[in-house]
C-alpha cells in the first residue's frame, strides 16, 4: 500500500486546483487531491463487495483498501475488482495511468508533463481554443500553447473560445488570428490554413462573395466572418499523411508504441494494448487499416494476430480478410465503434487515430 503525506492548503483552500478521477471509464469529481479509496468508490457507485484498483497497465496493479488515503497525483485511473478475486501481487514498479480531464471528458496518458498545445491535440480541440485550469476559487488559470502543464498541479481543465478580432471559415472550420488569419491574405495563405503541405495545388473559392474563385496570388481584405472553400486540384483517394503523423506523435508523447505499415496495406499497429477479462490480464497488438479517404472516411475495424486467444472473447466476429504484416498474419474482427458500436458518430475534426486508441482500449476491456 502506498504511504501518503497529506498536505493542507496554505492560505485557504478556495484556490486549490480541482481534482478528478476515472473509475471504469467514468469521470468523477474528487473533493481534493488526497482522498480515501472509500470516497472514490462512493462517487463512482462501486458496491461494497468490490475493491478499488489503481491502473498501472501492469499485472501488479495496486489494490487499495477502503481506508487507504489515495494521492491522485500518483495516478487517478482506477477499476473495480471483486474482493474474492484479489490475489497476492508483487510490488508494482510501472508508472500509473494519468487522466487529464477537459470539459468533463478524460484522456489517459502516462506522461505527467505536457504543454498547452499537446493537451489541445490530445483532446482533439482546435488550437484557437483557450484551455483553462479549473480551481476551486475564482482564480482559474489560462494555459498558453507553449506553457508547461504538470499533472501534479491539477488535471482538471475547461475550454472556451478565444475572443478574436478576425475569424474566417475555411472548409467549415473556424480559423482565428491565433492560427494565422490576418487583415490581408492571399489565396495561397488561405489555402495554407487547411492544406499546409501543398497549398499551391488547390483552388480557393470565396463563398461569401458569390462563390467566385480567388487566385492564389490575389489579396483578399479580411473584415471577419468570411467563408471560403479550398479544393485540392488532384484527388487520388489518398489519405493525409501529415495528419496521421501529428496524431501518432500525440500518442507517442504519452508513451504509446505504434508502427506505421505501408505494405501490403497502409495501416497502424498499436503495440502492447491491455486486454482484461475479470482478473485475467494480457497484452496484445492491434492492426488498424488506414482508410484511403482518411480523415473524411472514418477509421473502422481491427485486426488481431491470427493465433490470438482473444478471438471469441472480444466483441465482433472473426472475418476471413487477413493481412500479412510485420512478419505476422492478422485476421479481421468486425468491430465498428463509429458505426453502431457505441462510439460517437465519426467527426473528422475531432476523431482520429489518437482517439481510436480509446475505442480499442474499451473494446479489449469489455470481453464477452
Phi, psi torsion values for 107, nearest 5 degrees:
-130, 135
Residue 162 confidence (pLDDT): 63
Among the listed residues 252, 259, 332, 329, the one whose alpha carbon sits nearest the alpha carbon of residue 300: 332
For 167-232, CATH number? 3.10.20.30
Grid coordinates of 220:
483578399
Residue 184 confidence (pLDDT): 95
Residue 167 confidence (pLDDT): 86
pTM: 0.50
For residues 100 and 157, is the Cβ–Cβ distance under 8 A? yes
- For the chain, the structural domain boundaries read 13-160, 167-232, 241-365
Residue 90 confidence (pLDDT): 87
Residue 9 confidence (pLDDT): 43
Q: CA torsion sign, 248 to 249 to 250 to 255? A: positive
First and final C-alpha spacing in the chain: 32
The residue ranking higher by pLDDT, 366 or 287, is 287
Q: Is the per-residue pLDDT at 61 higher than 80?
A: yes
Q: Give the CA distances from residue 118 to residues 115, 280, 307, 347, in Å, rounded to whole numbers and listed in that order.
A: 5, 33, 37, 20
Residue 10 confidence (pLDDT): 39
Phi, psi torsion values for 4, nearest 5 degrees:
-125, 130
Residue pLDDT, tens place only, 118-133: 999 888 887 778 899 9
Residue 293 confidence (pLDDT): 83
Residue 254 confidence (pLDDT): 80
Identify the band that residue 213 occupies on the pLDDT scale cut at 50, 70 and 90: very high
Q: At what angle do helices 353-365 and 241-253 cross, to 10 degrees?
A: 50
Residue 6 confidence (pLDDT): 36
Residue 58 confidence (pLDDT): 85
**Burial zone of 245 (CB within 10 Å; 0-12 exposed, 13-18 middle, 19+ buried):** exposed
Residue pLDDT, tens place only, 215-248: 999 999 999 889 999 987 765 456 778 889 889 9
Residue pLDDT, tens place only, 282-327: 899 999 999 988 888 899 999 999 999 999 889 999 998 899 999 9
Phi, psi torsion values for 178, nearest 5 degrees:
-70, -15
For residues 264 and 325, is the Cβ–Cβ distance under 8 A? yes
Residue pLDDT, tens place only, 148-182: 999 999 999 999 876 657 889 998 887 888 778 99
Average pLDDT, the chain: 87
Residue pLDDT, tens place only, 340-350: 888 888 988 88
- Say if strands 98-102 and 50-54 run parallel, antiparallel, or are unpaired: unpaired
pLDDT (average), residues 141-147: 90
CA dihedral 190, 191, 197, 202 (to 10 degrees): -160
Which residues pair with residue 149 across a beta bridge?
114
Grid coordinates of 228:
471560403
Question: Which run of H or E residues covers position 189?
Answer: helix 187-194
Residue 292 confidence (pLDDT): 85
Burial per residue of 136-154, b for 16 or more beta-carbon CB atoms within 10 angstroms, e otherwise: beeeeeebeeeeebebeeb
pLDDT (average), residues 70-77: 96
Length of the chain in residues, anyone?
368
pLDDT (average), residues 15-41: 93
Residue 3 confidence (pLDDT): 38
pLDDT (average), residues 136-142: 81
Provide the 3-class DSSP secondary structure of residue 231.
strand
Amino acid at each position: 500500500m502506498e504511504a501518503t503525506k497529506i498536505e493542507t492548503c496554505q492560505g485557504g483552500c478556495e484556490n486549490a486546483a480541482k481534482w478528478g478521477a476515472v473509475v471504469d471509464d467514468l469521470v468523477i469529481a474528487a473533493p481534493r487531491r488526497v482522498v480515501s479509496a472509500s470516497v472514490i468508490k462512493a462517487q463512482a457507485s462501486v458496491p461494497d463487495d468490490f475493491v478499488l484498483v489503481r491502473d498501472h497497465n501492469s499485472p501488479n496493479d495496486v489494490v487499495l483498501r477502503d481506508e487507504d488515503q489515495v494521492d491522485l497525483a500518483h495516478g487517478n485511473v482506477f477499476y473495480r475488482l471483486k474482493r474474492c478475486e484479489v490475489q497476492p501481487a508483487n510490488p508494482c514498479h510501472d508508472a500509473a495511468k494519468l487522466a487529464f480531464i477537459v470539459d468533463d471528458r478524460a484522456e489517459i496518458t502516462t506522461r505527467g508533463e505536457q504543454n498547452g498545445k499537446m493537451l489541445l491535440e490530445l483532446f482533439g480541440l482546435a488550437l484557437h481554443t483557450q484551455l483553462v485550469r479549473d480551481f476551486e476559487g475564482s482564480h482559474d488559470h489560462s494555459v498558453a500553447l507553449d506553457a508547461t502543464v504538470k499533472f501534479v498541479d491539477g488535471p482538471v481543465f475547461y475550454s472556451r473560445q478565444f475572443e478574436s478580432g478576425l475569424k474566417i471559415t475555411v472548409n467549415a472550420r473556424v480559423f482565428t488570428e491565433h492560427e494565422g488569419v490576418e487583415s490581408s491574405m492571399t489565396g495561397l495563405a488561405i489555402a495554407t490554413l487547411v492544406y499546409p503541405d501543398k497549398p499551391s495545388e488547390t483552388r480557393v473559392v470565396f463563398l461569401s462573395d458569390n462563390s467566385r474563385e480567388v487566385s492564389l496570388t490575389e489579396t483578399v481584405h479580411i473584415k471577419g466572418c468570411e467563408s471560403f472553400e479550398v479544393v485540392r486540384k488532384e484527388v487520388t483517394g489518398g489519405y493525409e499523411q501529415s495528419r496521421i503523423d501529428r496524431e501518432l506523435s500525440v500518442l507517442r508523447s504519452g508513451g504509446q508504441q505504434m508502427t506505421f505499415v505501408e505494405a501490403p496495406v497502409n495501416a497502424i499497429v498499436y503495440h502492447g494494448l491491455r486486454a482484461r477479462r475479470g482478473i485475467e490480464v494480457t497484452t496484445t497488438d492491434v492492426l488498424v487499416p488506414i482508410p484511403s479517404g482518411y480523415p473524411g472516411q472514418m477509421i473502422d475495424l481491427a485486426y488481431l494476430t491470427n493465433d490470438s486467444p482473444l478471438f471469441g472473447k472480444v466483441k465482433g466476429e472473426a472475418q476471413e480478410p487477413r493481412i500479412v504484416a510485420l512478419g505476422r498474419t492478422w485476421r479481421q474482427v468486425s468491430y465498428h465503434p463509429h458505426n453502431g458500436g457505441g462510439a460517437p458518430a465519426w467527426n473528422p475534426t475531432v476523431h482520429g487515430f489518437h482517439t481510436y486508441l480509446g475505442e480499442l482500449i474499451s473494446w479489449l476491456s469489455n470481453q464477452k
